């Protein structure tokens, strides 16, 4: 099954937002995987699941399994959602995903909180400003109010580097 990007920048069966452009696509058994200038669209049972570039924590190609693995960030304290997408002829799609994820990163800092344990604070570009994401090192106890206050202070400090 081939997914064709039409001259108009659209993929058959995929509805884009006003002004949004499809940049690359690749076919999968469930439907096309589409990278646009705003997000990654992955097939879902009810149509497409939309992942804004600011929410793609990591994307990697598993060449042995021929699968694109996309880690979607989740709210602090929630598990990350991984998407495993078996796609045909992924070359252009992989390039665009890498470019869009890299371009969305404004700043990333690891801030120690308790000894060597800490948080990685990342600012990611969105259409309406900057989204701030926090990845917590394993072993850091967020349920401890003192630790939580230190994490909040770390986020504020990193944000102050970018936002007045």
Domains of the chain: 22-104 (2.30.29.30), 105-160 (no CATH)
Tell me: the pLDDT tens digits for 97-147? 999 999 999 999 999 999 999 999 999 999 899 999 888 899 999 899 999
Tokens read off for 42: 């992955």
Asked whether 77 and 142 are in contact (CB, 8 A), the reply is yes
What's the distance, Cα to Cα, between the start and end of the chain in Å?
50
Tokens read off for 135: 């990845």
Q: Is the model's pTM score more than 0.85?
A: no
Asked whether 24 and 92 are in contact (CB, 8 A), the reply is yes
150 φ/ψ angles, rounded to the nearest 5 degrees: -65, -40
Q: Rg of the chain over CA atoms, in angstroms? A: 18
Q: What is the pLDDT of residue 161?
A: 94
């Amino acid at each position: 099954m081939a997914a064709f990007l039409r001259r108009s920048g659209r993929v058959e069966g995929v509805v884009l937002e006003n002004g949004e452009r499809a940049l690359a696509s690749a076919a999968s058994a469930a439907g096309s995987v589409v990278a646009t200038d705003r997000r990654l669209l992955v097939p879902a049972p009810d149509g497409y699941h939309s992942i804004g570039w600011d929410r793609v924590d990591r994307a990697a190609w598993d060449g042995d399994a021929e699968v694109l693995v996309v880690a979607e960030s989740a709210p602090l304290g929630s598990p990350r959602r991984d998407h495993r997408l078996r796609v045909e002829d992924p070359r252009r799609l992989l390039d665009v995903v890498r470019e869009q994820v890299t371009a969305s990163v404004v700043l990333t800092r690891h801030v120690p909180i308790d000894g060597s344990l800490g948080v990685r604070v990342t600012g990611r570009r969105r259409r309406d400003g900057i989204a701030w994401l926090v990845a917590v090192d394993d072993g850091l106890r967020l349920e401890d109010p003192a630790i939580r206050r230190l994490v909040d202070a770390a986020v504020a400090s990193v944000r102050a580097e970018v936002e007045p």
